[in-house]
A = this chain, B = another copy of it.
Amino acid sequence: MAPAAGTVLPVLDEPAAPCCPPLTERPLTAGEAERTAAMFKALGDPVRLRLFSLVASHEGGEACVCDISDVGVSQPTVSHHLKKLKAAGLLTSERRGTWVYYRVEPGVLAAMGQLLTAR
């Protein structure tokens, strides 16, 4: 439903993956597992994982399709995978001129890393 004119929308600044304590600390709840598995699943494809690492390690912490040329898949396929990573909450994007620039969602790496920290 569209908000009524003048309605102040709540700011949804909930971090994307502030989810969970280390996996060694306690079992995840069904809800936590649902949310978090979607992120792992997005990284569970070799091309997508490689693209994620390309964006994460790119100069300035961001990259556009124009920066990516050596992963052995076409530019539309690269775009498709980057959109999936964004949909999973792993990347954010911003259009600047012709290109959409992607960067790693702040906090996501830290949160996922914490999840995988041994107690």
A contact residues, range: 35 or more
Q: Main secondary structure on chain A at its contact with chain B?
A: helix
Contact with B along A4-18 (1 / 0, CB 8 A): 000000000000000
Which residues from B are CB-within-8-Å of A30? 46, 50, 71-72
Q: Judge whether A109 and B113 touch: CB under 8 Å.
A: no
Which residues from B are CB-within-8-Å of A44? 37-38, 40-44
Q: How far is the CA of A26 from the CA of B104 in the complex (A)?
A: 14
State how many copies of this chain the complex holds: 2
Contact of A50 among B33, B114, B118 (CB under 8 A): B33
Closest residue to A35 on the B side, CB-wise? B46
Q: Judge whether A23 and B116 touch: CB under 8 Å.
A: no
Q: Judge whether A113 and B116 touch: CB under 8 Å.
A: yes
In whole Å, how far is A95's beta carbon from the nearest beta carbon of chain B? 23
- Footprint of B on A, CB under 8 Å? 23-28, 30, 33-34, 36-38, 40-50, 52-54, 56-57, 61, 71-72, 104, 109-110, 112-118
